[in-house]
Chain A
């Protein structure tokens, strides 16, 4: 059997997926605790040992990995105007699978620089100015960054005229310093691919070693990308198809975790009704958002706060009852609900995490009354006609009622301006293979697509 070993070094678990490349089938999946402090290989072997080895031993022709271990790819971005280049930089970073710690705008202040030093990101993304636009900010911020007491990898993706000079300044202190295309070459034009690739390259060449992942590289071929980038890549394949093999069409993937909820959409999001005007930054076709305050365990408290009244309305519980359960979530992040009451609470948390995360991900439509009658303005993606919503992530997969949780992603007539899917088919990534398939896509896209179509299954009616 020609097999591929696909590994996801997660922050808590190392997950392995073994694929039979000829039959295009999954041989097995398993997970074990990530062991980044000691030797990352221990966790990998513990996981792999759970999958029964064939009589002739494993014949792994490909061994690929992605990682979000040791804090993932921590990034701080900086731009000029908050809503423009700073936002463009944020989107580029999210698309690269980074964990965004801060986004600064305008000239970096002493406090901003202090925060960079304190939080020691893995990479800094420096943007600012459209091409032909503002040059001063990029140079000024490069000077400020060059005065930092620590050395960090920096990607410069700002005004193309000022970028080489800014890189020159940065090199006095930082290494490596990479120049990518401007994330906003023209006003309101987003160009994030080059910056995404640059971030990924820096991740591969510099950060893996710093995180103790290089020990694994003696055994595997390469750590290819951060885990969220692998999921986004798999999502694109599953949506668009490959060659003659059709995909599922435009889709939304929701990953509810203990600390965050990630939402990926592969969709154009153009207005579905005539006469609607688009406003704001254009949205990337493959868009990822991460909600750091919407998690089921570590972020349970913030989630309850964000949910506010909705949680009470959904559960009908008193504030004390909710409080007791939240305490529980924080004290024992590994806790799995046992009593019906606990299950009820878990369902409510998941449902609201999905609801709020998708609300923030999708676009909104507003009515503007002009002297010539009503006009409609859309900001963000219109996903009302989206055909497919997929759930993934530990919380959803081990839950007894994932459908109820996923339904939080649906359009709600109480909030008609929020452009969520109205009537999609709901799917579940039952064996948690999306990240692995994002890796397999690098060597065998057709097999990755076919396996996803076999194993990502429709749920509910």
Chain B
């Protein structure tokens, strides 16, 4: 089966680089082709990278609490750019404070994200979901 391509990056004015490196390693180990655009990535950079590399999914990290602001509108821009059906995942410390995660998840899903992860999620969870969503049999 053809290798699936993921665009991975940390969105907004967020400079958390360590988790980003760990995710590159984890997804690569799981058999994906990882296109990492690193920290301080804008929505446009995610989209450009996804178009050029023919990516199957965009994985957005946000660790500094401004995730909701930074992630809003990405789905619409994808639609505008001709990759409207691409899988969008978001995870990290998406919002500030101790908010109820179900409400956070609901808000991100309403923004067009297919999967949303609370703090402390292990990479294996997302790997499993990617396999399901992309129809990869193990």
Residues of A bordering B, CB below 8 Å? 80-81, 83-85, 129-130, 132-135, 184, 186-188, 277, 279, 368-372, 375, 377
Q: How large is the interface on B (under 10, 10 to 19, 20 to 34, 35 or more residues)?
A: 20 to 34
16 residue pairs bridging A and B, Cβ less than 8 Å apart: A80-B52, A84-B48, A130-B35, A133-B52, A133-B54, A135-B54, A184-B52, A188-B37, A277-B15, A279-B40, A370-B15, A370-B64, A371-B65, A372-B15, A375-B13, A375-B15
A184 to B, closest residue via Cβ: B52
Also in contact, A129 and B52, with CB within 8 A (given A187-B37, A279-B40, A375-B40):
yes
Q: Which B14-68 residues have a C-beta within 8 angstroms of A?
A: 14-15, 33, 35, 37, 39-40, 48-49, 51-55, 64-66
User: In the bound complex, do residue B35 and residue A187 qualify as a contact, i.e. CB atoms below 8 Å apart?
Assistant: yes
User: In the bound complex, do residue B51 and residue A81 qualify as a contact, i.e. CB atoms below 8 Å apart?
Assistant: yes
CA A372 to CA B10, docked complex, whole Å: 15
CA A184 to CA B51, docked complex, whole Å: 13
Q: Which of A133, A184, A279 contacts B5 (CB 8 A)?
A: A133
A80 to B, closest residue via Cβ: B52
B41 to A, closest residue via Cβ: A279
B24: min CB distance to chain A, Å: 13
Q: Which of B3, B14, B66 contacts A132 (CB 8 A)?
A: B3
CA A188 to CA B49, docked complex, whole Å: 9
The residues of B that contact A135 with a CB separation of less than 8 Å are: 54
CA A372 to CA B65, docked complex, whole Å: 12
- Number of A-B residue pairs at CB separation under 8 A: 61
Interface of B is mostly: mixed
CA A213 to CA B35, docked complex, whole Å: 46
User: In the bound complex, do residue A130 and residue B40 qualify as a contact, i.e. CB atoms below 8 Å apart?
Assistant: no
A84 to B, closest residue via Cβ: B52
B57: min CB distance to chain A, Å: 14
A134: min CB distance to chain B, Å: 4
Also in contact, A370 and B13, with CB within 8 A (given A132-B33, A187-B35, A375-B40):
yes
The residues of B that contact A370 with a CB separation of less than 8 Å are: 13-15, 64
The residues of A that contact B14 with a CB separation of less than 8 Å are: 370
B31: min CB distance to chain A, Å: 13
CA A243 to CA B8, docked complex, whole Å: 44
User: In the bound complex, do residue A187 and residue B54 qualify as a contact, i.e. CB atoms below 8 Å apart?
Assistant: no
A185: min CB distance to chain B, Å: 11
CA A83 to CA B54, docked complex, whole Å: 16
A131 to B, closest residue via Cβ: B53
Also in contact, A369 and B13, with CB within 8 A (given A83-B48, A133-B5, A279-B40):
yes
The residues of B that contact A279 with a CB separation of less than 8 Å are: 40
Instruction: Name 10 extra pairs, CB < 8 A, besides A134-B52, A187-B49.
Output: A129-B52, A130-B54, A132-B5, A132-B33, A184-B52, A279-B40, A370-B13, A371-B64, A375-B13, A375-B40
A90: min CB distance to chain B, Å: 15
B129: min CB distance to chain A, Å: 22
A371 to B, closest residue via Cβ: B64
The residues of B that contact A129 with a CB separation of less than 8 Å are: 52-54
User: In the bound complex, do residue A133 and residue B53 qualify as a contact, i.e. CB atoms below 8 Å apart?
Assistant: yes
B3 to A, closest residue via Cβ: A132
B84: min CB distance to chain A, Å: 16
CA A184 to CA B53, docked complex, whole Å: 10
Q: 9 closest A-B pairs (Cβ-Cβ)?
A: A133-B53, A134-B54, A133-B54, A370-B13, A81-B48, A84-B52, A187-B35, A81-B52, A130-B53
A128: min CB distance to chain B, Å: 8
B109: min CB distance to chain A, Å: 26
B55 to A, closest residue via Cβ: A133
CA A129 to CA B13, docked complex, whole Å: 28
B39 to A, closest residue via Cβ: A277
B131: min CB distance to chain A, Å: 19
